[in-house]
Amino acid sequence: MIITSIETFSNEYVALVRVRTDEGDEGWGQASPYNADITAQLVHRQVACHVLGMDASNIEAITQAVIEREHKFQGTYLYRALCGVDTALWDIRGKRAGKSVSALLGGSVSSFPVYASSMQRGITPQQEAERMLALKEQFGYRSFKFRIARECGHDIDQWPGRTEEIVALMRKKLGDEVNLMVDANSGYSPEKAIEVGRMLTDYGINHYEEPCPYWELDWSRQVSDALDIDVTGGEQDNNMIVWKQMIDTRAVDIVQPDICYMGGITRTLQVAEMAKQAGIPCTLHSANLSLVTLFSIHFMAAIENAGKYVEFSIEGLDYYPWQDRIFTPGYKISGGEVSLSDKPGWGVEINPEWMALADYQASYHASRF
C-alpha cells in the first residue's frame, strides 16, 4: 500500500490533508490550525517529499523518516505539517480495519465527558459566569474552564482584580457540585503562582493550567510541589526530551499534549504512554472545533490514563468564524458528553463547499506518471 498523493486544502486557519494510495485508499487528516496556509507549504516541501512512495500502513516509520530527514528543522511547523499526514494515515488505517480510530486504539465507548472551555479573557467575570450558566443548562456540562491572569503576563492581571473576582463568581454562580478549572497561560512567577494557587484551592478549583511560562519547567515543578491542586501543562510542547523531563521531574500533575502540535496521533501516543508509566493522567489540549477536537475525542476515549474529560471550546462562529462547516456530522453534546461515532476512521465527511473555497496544492509520487 504505497502512498501516491498528498493534497492540501487550506486557508489561513485550517489545512486539511488528503492522502491516497496505489490500492485506492483515501484518508483525511488535518494540520495544526492557525497560519495553516504556511503549514500547507511545509506539508509539500518537507513532509510529502519523504513520505510519497512509503508504505501507508507503517505510520510509525513514516513519522520517524520525516523527523530524521528534516532533523535540522525540528520545530513547531514541521510537527504541525506532519500531523496532517499522520492523521490522514490513521483515517486510512481505521477504514481498512473497518473500525473507528478510537476502536483501533482500544476504545469502546460511544460518548465521552467534555469540559466547557472558554478562550476569552477580555470577557468580564459577570459575562463569563452568565454564559457558562446558560451552557450548563443547555448541554449539561459539569466541568468548566475559564481564564485567569494575563497571557505571558509577568504577574500583572488582565485588569486589576479580575482573577479574584472571576474565581469567586464562577463558584457562586455555577455551584459547588461542578468541576472548575483555570488556565493562566504562562502568566505568573512561581511566587505569585503559588499565592494565586492557594486562593484557587480555597474555592475548590481542581485544575491549574500553565501557571508559569511553560518553558520554565522548574518553575512549574515548584508550583506543583507547593500546592495540592493539580498543576497541568504541556500544550505547546513537541520535543520528547522536554516531555521526559517534565514527567520525570513531575513538573506537572497532568500532561496536556495537543495532537496537532505534537505531529499527530503516533507521537501523542508516545507521550501518553510515558505519562502512564509515571502514573500521570493525560488530558489533551484541543482548543477549537476543527478536527483537532475530533482526534482528541477518539484518543481520550481509548487510552488507559485518560483524564476525566476532553477539552471542548465553547467559542462559536462569532469568535472563530473559520470553524464553520468544515466537516459533517458536527459535534453533538448532551448531558455533558460528546458522542463518538463508530464509523471507520474518523467517521466524518469533509464538506465539498468548504473544499471548493480552500487553496489547493498536490504532490504526487513518481509512479503516477
Contact residues toward Mg ion (CB under 5 A) are 183, 209
Helix, strand, coil percent content, the chain, rounded in steps of 5: 40, 20, 40
Q: CA 227, CA 220: separation in Å to the nearest integer?
A: 11
**Phi, psi (degrees; rounded to nearest 5) at 5:** -150, 150
Provide the minimum distance between the beta carbon of 184 and Mg ion in the complex, in angstroms, as a whole number. Answer: 9
Nearer to Mg ion, 7 or 258 (CB): 258
* Cell numbers found for residue 30: 488535518
Provide the minimum distance between the beta carbon of 284 and Mg ion in the complex, in angstroms, as a whole number. Answer: 11
Place of cell 504532490: 363
Provide the minimum distance between the beta carbon of 272 and Mg ion in the complex, in angstroms, as a whole number. Answer: 18
* Cell numbers found for residue 265: 496521533
Provide the minimum distance between the beta carbon of 121 and Mg ion in the complex, in angstroms, as a whole number. Answer: 11
Helix (H, G, I), strand (E, B) or coil at 45: helix
Nearer to Mg ion, 233 or 347 (CB): 233
Provide the minimum distance between the beta carbon of 195 and Mg ion in the complex, in angstroms, as a whole number. Answer: 20
Residue nearest Mg ion, Cβ-based = 183
- Count CA atoms closer than 13 A to 264's CA, side-chain side: 27
Q: CA 228, CA 232: separation in Å to the nearest integer?
A: 12
Angle between helices 162-174 and 190-202 (to 10 degrees): 20
Nearer to Mg ion, 48 or 275 (CB): 275
Nearer to Mg ion, 46 or 236 (CB): 236
Distances (CA, A) of 6 to 17, 28, 117, 228: 7, 10, 33, 48
Provide the minimum distance between the beta carbon of 209 and Mg ion in the complex, in angstroms, as a whole number. Answer: 5
Provide the minimum distance between the beta carbon of 187 and Mg ion in the complex, in angstroms, as a whole number. Answer: 11
Q: CA 253, CA 237: separation in Å to the nearest integer?
A: 16
How many CB atoms lie under 10 A from the CB of residue 61?
Answer: 12
Residues ≥6 apart with Cβ < 8 Å to 6: 17, 18, 19, 43, 44, 47, 48, 51, 52, 85, 88, 362, 363
Nearer to Mg ion, 68 or 151 (CB): 151
Per-residue DSSP letter, 71: G
Nearer to Mg ion, 101 or 167 (CB): 167
Nearer to Mg ion, 59 or 255 (CB): 255
